[in-house]
Amino acid sequence: MAHIVVFTRNTPDTAAKVEVGANGAVTWGTAQLVLNPWDEYSVTEAVLQRDAHKGKATVISIGGETHNDALKQALAIGMDEAIRIHSDAEHDPLTFAALAAAAIRKLGDVSLIIFGKEFVDSSSDAHIYMTARKLGWNAIGAVSKILALDFAAQSIRVERMIEEGKQVISARLPCVISVLKDINEPKSPSFIGIRKASKATIPVWTAAELGVSLGAPAVQISAYRNLPVRSGSCQIIEGGSDQEKAEKLIDILLKEKAL
Amino acid sequence: MSNVFVWVDHFRGKALPASWEAISAAQTLGGAITALVFGSGVGNLATLALHYGAHKVIVCEDASLADYRFEPYAALLVRLVKEHAPRAVLSGATTRGRELLAAAAAETDSALLADVTELSVEGEAIKAVHPAYAGKVLSDLTATTPTVFITLRSRAFPLPTLDASRSGEIINVAPVLPAEQIGAQIEAFEEQRGSVNLTDAAIIVTGGRAVGSAEGFAPVRELAEVLGGAVGATRAAVDAGYIPYAHQVGQTGKVVSPNLYIAAGVSGSIQHQAGMRTSKIIVAINKDPEAPIFKIAHYGIVGDLFKVLPALSAAARAKLGK
């Protein structure tokens, strides 16, 4: 079956000023939580492929209740169903992968998982490749285009951007991919979608129900810190002409051994 | 530390600098360093790894490993980790390194310290610093699993000195996954032309919305070429269609950390800053003296980029003798 899954979560908006407060907690003031920005592309791609292949598209979040908003946003954009898996270790990719793989096995008929490039809060993409490996599936990251997708033949053909250029890769399904922002023009929620999402009840699955026993996260986040404040202010290069300013700046950069 | 692995990321025999930087990072952990080189026709990389400071190299040469693919590389790395039980496995946080180490960490239920900028050892624990929330804050991480996987942000650790007199043992091993069991085939490759890889670049010249058009990037490209640097762009410039996404620096683009970052016509949004604020020297060129970019820049020229950039190219040509 043409069943596509996207995993997403709620994260601070990219324009949010994120800081560590006096109590050591990360805060983003009054900025809104939004669908993880990279997932605008994965959700859109899932909806486009679902439409093209007359399949089903499910969106899943792993974490607390706050992620229901991201799930509703994804439903409003056009995903068919949403599930939340409760987890207290939201930022631990191994925990994520164990729960994600168990959920995919429970769904049973999933052929393709599409992730956005990374989660902006943890600033990590490890959960993507960990999920693939826990499932024993292939993974192709940094996909900029799906060239062909055939659920009957269980095959996919994609363009992948690597440091050196662009590859064309064909792979068997089931498969995990992560997509870049090049892949599509993100869809906005439709009026009908918003109405549907507002009425949706989102089932909550637990680790116990999925048969996953969770230990302590393998990586402990011992503290969050603010970035060191840059000392000194900007030296504005003055001069009578652009030429003079340019020459002064190049001299400074040579002295700083920056050139 | 008993034994530390460094996986050497390369493309068709050409290593990414982050792979050698990983040898520097491994030295901070102590212990013997074993470089892992997978591929086809990569004997020269094994020698180079020794010259950069590895004590030993494990090489797996096979046609099925000629280009990186997730399944055969992960199967091989997992096998080697299970056989040798290294204290840590390091690689650059490159596209391939991030995928491969995450996969192997998952299969061995090991901690992964991903995309780190600092590394230290404290007793049994390995500690690292990772920029989180798109680089807006730092997180201090601690890992204590028997093997810890670590990916390192490009340019966060120095390139070790190259010493051609160094030598060491080179061990050959066989691949793990038979070719017919590999579920992915690479059908074609198109090289990215005319630009340096942004994350490796020592110098980046970036154009913002104010370049105004695709042609407007000409003076940006010219200065980058004169300085031997790469061309960056802001999201605004990419979204306006002036330049491909591969050049985008910022929260939804690449995170870079060059020695010199020249921002021309860049206002300096919080999203753009997230991608470049760790650059060693930041130069801002903007008509608007109130632009936020000047708050994080070390040097600034208030002026029109279409006049200042050509003047900089001319001055650099004259003074660098180009």
Burial of residue A80 (number of CB atoms within 10 Å: 0-12, 13-18, 19+): middle
* Cβ-contact B129, B117 below 8 angstroms: yes
Give per-residue pLDDT as tens, A44-57.
999 999 999 999 99
Q: Does A81 have pLDDT greater than 90?
A: yes
> Of the ranges A22-26, A132-136, B198-202, B246-250, which is most confident?
A132-136
Q: What is the pLDDT of residue A14?
A: 82
Cα dihedral B96, B102, B105, B106, rounded to 10, equals -130
Q: Taking residues A90-119, report their average pLDDT.
A: 97
Chain B CB contacts of A124 below 8 Å? 114-115, 130
pLDDT for residue B1:
47
CB within 8 Å: A163 and B71: no
Radius of gyration of chain B (CA): 21
Q: Do B184 and A140 touch (CB under 8 A)?
A: yes
**Pairs of residues, one from chain A and one from chain B, whose beta carbons lie less than 8 Å apart:** 258
Best A138, A221, A242, A244 residue to mutate vs chain B (most B CBs within 10 Å): A242
Distances (CA, A) of B95 to B10, B99, B173, B303: 11, 7, 25, 38
Chain B partners within 8 Å of A225 (Cβ) = 137-140
Q: What is the pLDDT of residue B299?
A: 97
Question: Residue type at B235?
Answer: R
Residue A69, min C-alpha distance to chain B (Å): 19
Amino acid at position B198, single letter: L
Contact by Cβ (8 Å): A91, A97 = no
pLDDT tens-digit readout, A171-224: 999 999 999 988 999 999 999 999 999 999 999 999 999 999 988 999 999 999
Contact at 8 Å (CB) between A104 and A110?
yes
Residue B231 to chain A, least CA–CA distance (Å): 14
Residues (pLDDT < 70) of chain B are 1, 193-196
Other beta carbons within 10 angstroms of residue B280's beta carbon come to 15
Scanning B120-249, the segments in alpha helix (DSSP H) are 218-227, 235-239
How confident is the model at residue A107, as a pLDDT? 98
Question: Does the model's ipTM exceed the 0.85 cut?
Answer: yes
Percent of chain A with pLDDT over 70: 100
CB contact under 8 A, B130 and A123: yes
DSSP E strands: which ranges in chain B? 3-7, 10-11, 14-15, 32-39, 56-61, 88-92, 111-116, 118-122, 125-132, 137-143, 148-152, 169-172, 184-191, 203-207, 230-233, 260-264, 281-286, 299-302
Strand order in the sheet with B56-61: B111-116, B148-152, B88-92, B3-7, B32-39, B56-61, B169-172
The overall average pLDDT reported for chain A is 95
User: Is B224 in contact with B231 (CB distance < 8 Å)?
Assistant: yes
The pair of three-digit structure tokens given for residue A104, joined into one six-digit string: 């995919």
Measured CA to CA, the distance from residue A226 to residue A17 in angstroms comes to 11
Asked if A234 lies within 8 A of B300 by C-beta distance, the reply is yes
At B194 the pLDDT is 59
Q: Which chain A residues touch B106 with a CB distance below 8 Å? A: 94, 97, 129-131, 133-134
Residue-wise pLDDT for A164-183, tens only, equals 999 999 999 999 999 998 89
Is A219's CB within 8 Å of B113's CB?
yes
Q: What are phi and psi of B122, to 5 degrees?
A: -135, 100
Over range A54-80, report the average pLDDT: 97
Q: What is the average per-residue pLDDT within A95-121?
A: 97
Contact criterion met (CB below 8 Å) for A85 and A64: no
Would you state the pLDDT for residue B192?
Answer: 79
d(CA B317, CA B133): 40
Q: Element (H or E) spanning A6, and its range?
A: strand A3-7
Q: Which two tokens stand for residue B40?
A: 């086809």
pLDDT at B195: 61
Interface contact B107-A14, CB threshold 8 A: no
Nearest to B16 among A16, A163, A249 (CB): A163
pTM of the model: 0.93
Distance from CA of A55 to the nearest CA of B (A): 23
Q: Could you say which DSSP state residue B316 is in? A: H
Name every chain B residue with its beta carbon within 8 A of the beta carbon of A115.
Answer: none
Residues near B285 by Cβ (< 8 Å), separated by ≥ 6? Answer: B262, B263, B264, B265, B300, B301, B303, B305, B308, B309
Interface with chain B: mutation pick from A172, A253, A257, highest number of B CBs within 10 Å? A253
